[in-house]
Chain A
Amino acid sequence: MMIFAWLGHPGPDAVLGAADLDDAGQRQAPQIIHGLVNSLIVAAAVTAITLVIVVPLAYAFGRFSFRGKTALLMAILFSVAVPPVSTLIPFYILFIQLGLTGTRFGLVIVNLTVTVPFVTWMLIGYFRNLPPVERLAQIDGFSRFGTLLLVVIPMARSGIAVAAVVSFLFAWNEFVFATQLVNGTDAATLPTAVSGFLFLQPQPGLLSASLWISIVPAALVAYYLQRHIASLGMVDAIH
């Protein structure tokens, strides 16, 4: 119904008019900036933590054989297979008990439960296809950890960049959990803040403006890393 209300809205002059910035709009506008900051913090934290966990994890799965590997891989696969929404209520109850509702920290944890298994699966194949440089690194006197840090990670930059983009965009766009866990609190992220213009009091002009704001950082991240990926060339893995 609200969509019809917009369609019936008077023209652009009225949209951009000062009259539009009524009380509700003025109350909601600062939330956009606040939400932007929250979203940036959450998405950056999710990306960083995801990479720190996933790069060694996917490397181990992709390059080593060890006992229980298949079972662990299956466990990761199944956790991706569960629709995230189905864990919404359990998380909500758990977070109330732990006092994590309305915190960015809680939101980061929820996001990680999706990004970590998903990105691990993405990167396992990538690491598996890298040339066998471990032997080369052993001859050159790198330790196992040194090999990962100084040889494999620089080599796998493009794959890791893709993983970063995916994690960042997922956390940036996450709406359902944010609505339940942080909406209306200091930790509200941009998607929930933007939704206020849609659900609380329809404000098409402000909605449009805030949507643009929400697109820009994501587009910049995607564009920057995309160029990075293109310049490295994913086919580098062969030689």
Chain B
Amino acid sequence: MTTIKLEGLRKVYGSETVVDNTNLEFESGNFVVFLGPSGCGKTTTLNMIAGFETPTEGRVLLDGRTVNDLPPHARNVAMVFQSALLYPHLTALANIQMSLRHAGLSADEIKARILSAAQFLKVDQLLAKKPSALSGGERQRVALAKAIVRQPSVFLMDEPFSALDAALRNSLRAELVHLQKTLGVTTVFVTHDQIEAMTMGDVIVVMNKGKVEQVGSPDEIYNKPNTRFVAGFIGSPAMNFIEGVLGEGDGSLQLKAKNSCVLLPQRLRDWAGEHGATHWLGIRPQHMRISDPAVEHAIPSEVWAVERHGKENVVIVQTIDGGSMRILTTPDVNLSVGEKIALTFDPDRAYLFAR
């Protein structure tokens, strides 16, 4: 049971700040997901927690103890690497055993621990095989067995599922959450896949360009995004945005885009910046409606493509402002490419972000 605290953490390579002034604290037993596009600093942050990288500034604390100067193995962290990295020239057994080099256990204890870890992850039949003889999923399980066998205080995972196919990723996701909840080990998981983050994390840290954009539960991140970046990064299909200038008209707040104008609900006043400033209106695809072109303040658009997903359709349109938007509809909505439609949105579910 270990808490993780990052205090004023900064990492600079040459003139480039990769991680900037990061202050975070995670409770013991949490499943923390660092989410962000590649190059956002999430892996560097993980590497600083692991001890592969020395922070330029700031401290990493595990259980309240500064570990900046400890080498990785002395931090008692276990790590699962991208595409389940294992020693290619060693058998699964030898790979798992490597984790216990410094544990100071007797041969019998080592054997017992490896066996129980292997059984837990259902790889006990694979111990004699080399990584090249294992499937992607099996390799992943061996890598997890190697991680749990040392009974670490923290699990660190660097996009461990990125090289696997979608079906396998789905099943391993559930397995990993189950494993983490069973063992109760504080876990930091790095990914660029927002679905992985949403489904697995207790806490999600969204990062962009070296900075933390938002920290929160999956619910908070999805329903109360603080920034346009977070709003656009979470959710599939992604949120639609209308760029425009804030103004007043018809007794209501208005957003004037290039060729259209939308009325904003009263509740968005709290979110609004100065009048005349550029803002983004964000609406998720499921909160957009296709309406009669006669409706006032509807956004005139043209159907660009229709994707059928079985339980729903995604209509991709080109608005009169030149932007592209996605609308989730029921599967019975029939639209053909080039058709002129108009769009409205659920005012209770719209977001406004000052630029």
Known contacts A239-B132, A239-B139: A139-B85 contact under CB 8 Å: no
CB neighbours of B50 from chain A (8 A) = 139
Question: Are B88 and A237 within 8 A (Cβ)?
Answer: yes
B115 at interface, CB cutoff 8 A: no
Partner of A133, one of B71, B77, B87, B102: B87
Q: Mark contacts of B67-108 with chain A using CB atoms, 8 A cut-off: 1 yes-contact digit, 0 otherwise.
A: 000011110011101000111110000000011011000000
Contact-residue size bin, chain A (C-beta under 8 Å from the other chain): 10 to 19
Q: How far is the CB of B131 from chain A (nearest CB, A)?
A: 5
Q: How far is the CB of A204 from chain B (nearest CB, A)?
A: 49
B52 at interface, CB cutoff 8 A: yes
Known contacts A135-B81, A236-B88: A140-B131 contact under CB 8 Å: no
Q: Mark contacts of B104-133 with chain A using CB atoms, 8 A cut-off: 1 yes-contact digit, 0 otherwise.
A: 000000000000000000000000000110
A136 at interface, CB cutoff 8 A: yes
Question: Are A236 and B89 within 8 A (Cβ)?
Answer: yes
A132, A136, A140: residue with the most chain B Cβ atoms closer than 10 Å: A140
> In chain B, what residue has the closest Cβ to A136?
B85
Q: Please report the C-alpha to C-alpha distance between residue A136 and residue B87 in the assembled complex, in whole angstroms.
A: 8
Question: Are B85 and A131 within 8 A (Cβ)?
Answer: yes
Q: Please report the C-alpha to C-alpha distance between residue A154 and residue B98 in the assembled complex, in whole angstroms.
A: 14
Question: Are B132 and A139 within 8 A (Cβ)?
Answer: no
Q: How far is the CB of B43 from chain A (nearest CB, A)?
A: 11
Q: How far is the CB of B94 from chain A (nearest CB, A)?
A: 11
Q: Please report the C-alpha to C-alpha distance between residue A118 and residue B207 in the assembled complex, in whole angstroms.
A: 46
> In chain A, what residue has the closest Cβ to B82?
A132
Among residues 235 to 268 in chain B, which have CB atoms less than 8 Å away from a CB atom of chain A?
none
A229 at interface, CB cutoff 8 A: no
Partner of B87, one of A138, A155, A157: A155
Partner of B99, one of A132, A133, A138, A140: A140
Q: Please report the C-alpha to C-alpha distance between residue A139 and residue B78 in the assembled complex, in whole angstroms.
A: 7
Question: Are B52 and A138 within 8 A (Cβ)?
Answer: yes
> In chain B, what residue has the closest Cβ to A130?
B88
Q: How far is the CB of B23 from chain A (nearest CB, A)?
A: 26
Question: Are B73 and A141 within 8 A (Cβ)?
Answer: yes
Question: Are B89 and A132 within 8 A (Cβ)?
Answer: no
Question: Are A154 and B72 within 8 A (Cβ)?
Answer: no
CB neighbours of B77 from chain A (8 A) = 139
CB neighbours of B74 from chain A (8 A) = 141
Among residues 124 to 158 in chain A, which have CB atoms less than 8 Å away from a CB atom of chain B?
131-133, 135-136, 138-142, 151, 154-155, 157
Question: Are B73 and A140 within 8 A (Cβ)?
Answer: yes
Partner of B85, one of A135, A141, A142, A155: A135
Partner of B52, one of A135, A154, A236: A135
Question: Are A138 and B71 within 8 A (Cβ)?
Answer: yes
CB neighbours of A142 from chain B (8 A) = 101
Q: Mark contacts of B131-154 with chain A using CB atoms, 8 A cut-off: 1 yes-contact digit, 0 otherwise.
A: 110000001000000000000000
Q: How far is the CB of A228 from chain B (nearest CB, A)?
A: 13
Beyond A132-B85, A140-B99, A141-B71: 6 further Cβ-contacts under 8 Å? A135-B85, A139-B72, A139-B79, A139-B99, A155-B88, A239-B131
A-B contact list, 28 entries, CB within 8 Å: A131-B85, A132-B81, A133-B85, A133-B88, A135-B52, A135-B79, A135-B81, A135-B85, A136-B81, A136-B85, A136-B86, A136-B87, A138-B72, A139-B72, A139-B78, A139-B79, A140-B101, A140-B102, A141-B73, A141-B101, A141-B102, A155-B89, A157-B89, A233-B132, A236-B88, A237-B88, A239-B131, A239-B139
